[in-house]
Structure 1
Amino acid sequence: MNKLETLEHYFGHSSFRPLQEEVVDAILEKQDVLMILPTGGGKSLCYQLPTLLMEGITVVVSPLLALMHDQVVALRANGISAAMLSSMQNMEESQQIEEQLRRGEIKLLYVAPERLTNGYFLNLLHQLPINFFVIDEAHCVSEWGHEFRENYRRLSLLKEQFSTTPISAFTATATHAVESDIASNLGLVNPKRVRGSLFRENLTINARHRIKDGRAQLMEFLKQHTDESGIIYTLSRKSTEAVAHFLQTKGIEAKAYHAGLPTEEKNRTYADFVADKVQIVVATIAFGMGIDKSNIRFVVHMTMPKTLENFYQEIGRAGRDGLEAETLLLFSAQDIVQQKMFIEDLPESPYKQHAFNKLDSMVRFANSENCRHQSIAAYFDDRIEACIDKCDNCTAPASEKIDITTAARMLLSTILRTEQNFGLHYVIDVLKGSKEQRVLANGHDTLSVYGIGDEYSKSQWLTIGDKLLELGAVEIGEFKVYKLTAFGVEVIKGAHTIELKKERLTVQKAEKKKKVTYFDDYDAEMFDKLRDLRTEIATANNIPPYIVFSDKTLKDLSVKLPQSKQEMLDVHGIGEVKFERYGEEFLLLLKSE
């Protein structure tokens, strides 16, 4: 059979999807391949089909047992001889598979990366006619990716041990930096590089600020997806069980899934979900990698993921059948604090700073007013047109916008005048004429831009800074230093007008640093966090919360976001005594924002 006949006979398709045939041909020509194609684009077929047209065995390296098992079952259902070697088999089963391999009765062998470091297994492979290796979920190779695995890094041994055997690497997500890292570490030789468009035209992406615990918003969303399959991601094991129980009380068939559950229970939940016996799985990120279920109609994140790679891969599990699917991200400032705490626990290394930068990108995406699909594509170094009707930002009614060009030029000029050596908070301190010792010691109180930004609160300047990041006028370098791009220089020169949605920033002229109004959601969320801290302090000291700070003080704190003792003393209701008693704890919270 030729490739089209094979495609029809084994897979039931009359034609290839975009880019598939190009990769199939490269593999048949025994080239190394690196393919980056979104979830649902049909990566598996790109290596499953050519091995049927070649002599020998294809060895597929995959990170998860459940994924390997599903692939093997699906291939066997299509009449293709496939097997997996893993800890799931006993000695007798493993020996039987080895005998089948020696007799040439298996075309695709699935293994975990750990097995390739086993001397006995490597010796077995040297005795077999391997036509090519496949590295699935290849982003795990790169330490700059979002799911780096040490055992994947060791796969460089394949080119050392099997120098003439081609390797095909596949992943759904990779920036150009990660792509280069994959190619380098696997030792790929002049690989055929194929990168698909990041635009999933059947996927609608929504992101909203979470109100309280988000459950009311979740129920409103689920009304549009009655009796449909979906995944709801939460941050902790405890919250998966709490949300699953909540849905059960509402008559919705839902089960929790997290790493702490017994293996039998996890396997049963997974199997029931794939078999449509369970409508919704509420899970941590331990669930879903490589899940082979095509009719997932929605994915909800109850909290913000730590990276855009995680987010894109997780929402990519919806609509793999090409039919309409929808995603919802609910997030709050508390999520950012939690994710930063996780990163802070990492040992000091360039990777730690990289993790902070990835989180910053995720935060900017969540807050962005630009096309969601376009923002994701740009992050992965792809350029697409705005989606028009497949994200909340593109379908939102026209909003009144505020011209912030003058403010943007002030901020960019201050970054330039401070020689592009500082973070955004410091730059804003200079703009607002801060008397902080660091500002004075650097002599930045003598700059022409010092104190010219008193028109806006610090929180407003942070919002303006976020907008400039979204537009690509600035970029974040090492140690969170802000630097101008070529576009930023053009903005300073007056070549562009910068606008911001009114609801993100309502500008009022400052009257001797009086009250300012800004993005309501941020105001409300910050107030809630401050109130929670006040309750903790009051409980610990056995006093009423209002004795710590009044609601009026908390609201003023949430608007001004002071970053030092002096700035905090400018807030209504805070004097020296109150600051000495409670100020440091509140400052710690505010600085974490």
Structure 2
Amino acid sequence: MHFEQDFEQLTTERPTVSSQDPEQVLHEVFGYEAFRPLQGDIIREVVSGNDALVLMPTGGGKSLCYQVPALVRPGTAIVISPLIALMQDQVAALRELGVKAAFLNSTMDFEQARATEYALMTGELDLLYCAPERLIQPRTIELLHNASISLFAIDEAHCVSQWGHDFRSDYLQLSMLAGEFPGIPRIALTATADERTRKEIAERLTLTEARHFVSGFDRPNIQYRIAPKTNANKQLLDFIKSEHEGECGIVYCLSRNKVDATAKMLADKGYTALPYHAGLPADDRARHQERFLREDGVIIVATIAFGMGIDKPDVRFVAHLDLPKSLEAYYQETGRAGRDGKPSTAWMVYGLQDVIKLRQMLEASQGNDHFKRVERQKLDAMLGLCEVTRCRRQVLLRYFGDVLDEPCGNCDTCLNPPETWDGTVAVQKALSCVFRTGQRFGVTYLIDVLRGSENERILQSGHHEVSTFGIGTELSANEWKSVFRQLVANGYLRADPEGYGALQLTEQCRPLLKGEHQVELRKDPEVKKTASRSSGTRGGSAVRDQITDDHGWEVLRACRKELAEKKGVPPYVIFHDTTLFDMLERKPRSLEELAEVSGVGAAKLEKYGAIFLEAIAGLDRK
């Protein structure tokens, strides 16, 4: 039996922290000098035994808000996490720090699970990660009652929201923790929640008395860009080639078929592009995710099934080839870029068909009227971000109750302000054409009528004789597409709920047809080379752009990669790029000097200090 071996691996000693002081834990275990804004307040709240609800953007340091209290308070911290990949990743990273961490999930055999449970019962664990469906089982609850528990951390707490894009029914039952374990502090954490969702989280998890900590939602290192969809594949290729060649990224698509086709297209162009969606065999999904985490330059093409809890710091871009359903989904997905704080891009193309498809899916859903009303509001907010002519970041942050006083200077509408034009007459022509043709046709047909195309279909239908035939020759087909897209986005036209793509008038368009309102439309920008990601004034340069010693950089990366392969972990679990860069800049000569490098804690200093000092010393001998 391997029981004793498993137990030995779980309970590897970490360097002893001489006092129960959060700042000292931060420095000696994690290798950081000071807490980020709000981290210290949150940690002190939980260490004191109080509940907390934490909203902090991706990359803002949420994990430390429960990991540090777990090492300060007596007992084992139970971390509820929705994804197996996430908990395995975090446990591997914590063990590298010398922290006694483990997980319980469906990948374990009986003996491994038994060893973990024994380590919990005997007080040998600092943190235990557990999936919500496992935690709520009676056997697990009984196990926890017989152990010493320091706190409960509920990660990705927005999964409790029934209005959210990541809803998981098992999360609803986590409210029982308040009654089963009174007196044990609970901390719920998420990166994405508007005011309505925050209230829902507090109520469903019985955290109505918890103190709320809301960090700013701004991710200034991310440059937000949204462009009209013309040729999505070519636009994506041009974007990657001109700005992110050889870098890691995520491309989101709405359907599985599109994921497969896009991944193949990128692979055919020489990129390491891997598909990820629920239709793939579990082994393929796991293998693709593993390659993404461990290799450089991998692009994952995915549905929204991918990404929650991904802890990879150097994702340089997130691209959307289809419109997300809400700003919560958009913020969550784009937030997977630039977790290391370095310049990254959130890039999206969207078109009229995206709007039509999402509106049709919404109206055809089985939800009740209240659900559909909420979802319409969310989609309208998403469309508002797409069509806005002022700073996108200000609009995005305001949705989450955050305020940015000045335009950000690092989104497309700030870098290249869009033009507007008086579209009143064009709008009247478009709406009148929809009416005159019987509200039974899609945008391509309507544009042909407006531009006077005498094709067979129009001649057979007799629409060459309607008053709107040929009255729109002043605009190109693409310009008319822009007009119709904005009319649908702003609710003046709707897609046929039967799903045939026909456009229909809404009550909202009546004042426009009567000429009672003037309409300003956004002029789609001409397709040209976009500003580079470093042109924004708020982010600085990416790590590799700052490297002056290419040879030294590659030596340190090779050293890290060799250690990572021996350990069977992603390279960033050994050290982040920012830590390697700091080493290269400082070129420490001793363990004491190396300990001053950000991200080098006591355990990593002991494990890897001599190896990296030797590598650094070798640079001077070259």
Return the TM-score normalized by structure 2.
Answer: 0.68
Write the distance in 2 (CA, Å) between the matches of 1:248 and 1:348: 39
The offset of 1:125, in angstroms, is: 0.6
CA contact (8 A) 2:443 2:503 kept: no
Find the counterpart in structure 2 of residue 416 from structure 1.
none
Write the distance in 2 (CA, Å) between the matches of 1:115 and 1:530: 55
Q: Which secondary structure state, in structure 1, belongs to the residue aligned with residue 58 of structure 2?
A: coil
With over 3 angstroms needed to count, the CA separation of the structure-2 counterparts of 1:398 and 1:589, relative to structure 1, is closer
Name structure 2 gaps, 5 residues minimum.
Answer: 1-18, 434-440, 450-455, 485-495, 507-622
Find the counterpart in structure 2 of residue 32 from structure 1.
51
CA contact (8 A) 1:299 1:328 kept: yes
Of the three residues 373, 380, 387, the one matched with 2:400 is 380
CA contact (8 A) 1:57 1:132 kept: yes
The offset of 1:532, in angstroms, is: 11
Q: Which secondary structure state, in structure 2, belongs to the residue aligned with residue 296 of structure 1?
A: coil
Q: Which secondary structure state, in structure 1, belongs to the residue aligned with residue 310 of structure 2?
A: coil
Find the counterpart in structure 2 of residue 326 from structure 1.
345
Measured against aligned partners, the alpha-carbon deviations of 1:12-67 in whole angstroms (never above 9, x if no partner) come to 11111111111111111111000100100000011001111110011111111111
Please tell me the residue identity of whatever aligns with 1:294: P
Please tell me the residue identity of whatever aligns with 1:134: A
Please tell me the residue identity of whatever aligns with 1:279: V
Find the counterpart in structure 1 of residue 574 from structure 2.
none
CA contact (8 A) 2:263 2:275 kept: yes
CA contact (8 A) 1:82 1:106 kept: yes
Write the distance in 1 (CA, Å) between the matches of 2:50 and 2:497: 61
Find the counterpart in structure 1 of residue 413 from structure 2.
393
CA contact (8 A) 2:49 2:183 kept: no
Identity of aligned residues (%): 37
Please tell me the residue identity of whatever aligns with 2:57: P
**After the TM superposition, which residues 470-481 of structure 1 pair with which residues of structure 2 at under 5 Å, given as runs?**
none
Find the counterpart in structure 1 of residue 293 from structure 2.
274
**After the TM superposition, which residues 358-377 of structure 1 pair with which residues of structure 2 at under 5 Å, given as runs?**
358-377=378-397
Instruction: Confirm whether residue 42 of structure 1 aligns to residue 61 of structure 2.
Output: yes
Of the three residues 303, 312, 325, the one matched with 2:322 is 303
The offset of 1:515, in angstroms, is: 7.7
The offset of 1:238, in angstroms, is: 0.5
Please tell me the residue identity of whatever aligns with 1:219: L
With over 3 angstroms needed to count, the CA separation of the structure-2 counterparts of 1:144 and 1:587, relative to structure 1, is closer
> Once structures 1 and 2 are overlaid, which stretch shifts more, 248-257 or 303-312?
248-257
Find the counterpart in structure 2 of residue 203 from structure 1.
222
Find the counterpart in structure 1 of residue 205 from structure 2.
186
CA contact (8 A) 1:32 1:189 kept: no
Of the three residues 22, 27, 48, the one matched with 1:3 is 22
**After the TM superposition, which residues 83-232 of structure 1 pair with which residues of structure 2 at under 5 Å, given as runs?**
83-188=102-207, 190-212=209-231, 214-222=232-240, 223-232=242-251
**After the TM superposition, which residues 556-575 of structure 1 pair with which residues of structure 2 at under 5 Å, given as runs?**
none
With over 3 angstroms needed to count, the CA separation of the structure-2 counterparts of 1:45 and 1:517, relative to structure 1, is farther
Moved over 4 A (4+): 507-510, 513-518, 529-533, 543-546, 548-561, 583-588
Find the counterpart in structure 1 of residue 594 from structure 2.
none
Instruction: Confirm whether residue 354 of structure 1 aligns to residue 374 of structure 2.
Output: yes
CA contact (8 A) 1:33 1:193 kept: yes
With over 3 angstroms needed to count, the CA separation of the structure-2 counterparts of 1:79 and 1:584, relative to structure 1, is closer
The offset of 1:507, in angstroms, is: 4.2
Write the distance in 2 (CA, Å) between the matches of 1:73 and 1:586: 48
CA contact (8 A) 2:221 2:338 kept: yes
Write the distance in 2 (CA, Å) between the matches of 1:136 and 1:305: 23
CA contact (8 A) 1:36 1:170 kept: yes
Higher relative contact order (CA 8 A, sep 6+): 2
Find the counterpart in structure 2 of residue 473 from structure 1.
none
- Count of residue pairs the alignment pairs up: 451
Instruction: Confirm whether residue 591 of structure 1 aligns to residue 504 of structure 2.
Output: yes
Write the distance in 1 (CA, Å) between the matches of 2:341 and 2:326: 25
Alpha-carbon RMSD across the aligned residues, in angstroms, is 3.0
Write the distance in 1 (CA, Å) between the matches of 2:497 and 2:30: 64
The offset of 1:241, in angstroms, is: 1.0
CA contact (8 A) 2:192 2:332 kept: yes
Of the three residues 245, 268, 276, the one matched with 1:249 is 268
Find the counterpart in structure 2 of residue 51 from structure 1.
70
With over 3 angstroms needed to count, the CA separation of the structure-2 counterparts of 1:554 and 1:49, relative to structure 1, is farther
CA contact (8 A) 2:247 2:297 kept: no
Find the counterpart in structure 2 of residue 477 from structure 1.
none
Write the distance in 2 (CA, Å) between the matches of 1:509 and 1:71: 55
Find the counterpart in structure 1 of residue 423 from structure 2.
506
With over 3 angstroms needed to count, the CA separation of the structure-2 counterparts of 1:101 and 1:391, relative to structure 1, is same
Please tell me the residue identity of whatever aligns with 2:423: T
The offset of 1:344, in angstroms, is: 2.7
Q: Which secondary structure state, in structure 2, belongs to the residue aligned with residue 156 of structure 1?
A: helix
Measured against aligned partners, the alpha-carbon deviations of 1:160-196 in whole angstroms (never above 9, x if no partner) come to 2112211100000111121111111111252121101
Please tell me the residue identity of whatever aligns with 2:238: E
Please tell me the residue identity of whatever aligns with 2:377: N
CA contact (8 A) 1:33 1:167 kept: yes
> Once structures 1 and 2 are overlaid, which stretch shifts more, 140-149 or 178-187?
140-149
With over 3 angstroms needed to count, the CA separation of the structure-2 counterparts of 1:587 and 1:292, relative to structure 1, is closer
Measured against aligned partners, the alpha-carbon deviations of 1:470-493 in whole angstroms (never above 9, x if no partner) come to xxxxxxxxxxxxxxxxxxxxxxxx
The offset of 1:544, in angstroms, is: 6.1
Find the counterpart in structure 2 of residue 486 from structure 1.
none
CA contact (8 A) 1:139 1:171 kept: yes
With over 3 angstroms needed to count, the CA separation of the structure-2 counterparts of 1:76 and 1:548, relative to structure 1, is farther
Return the TM-score normalized by structure 1.
Answer: 0.71
Please tell me the residue identity of whatever aligns with 2:173: R
The offset of 1:268, in angstroms, is: 0.9
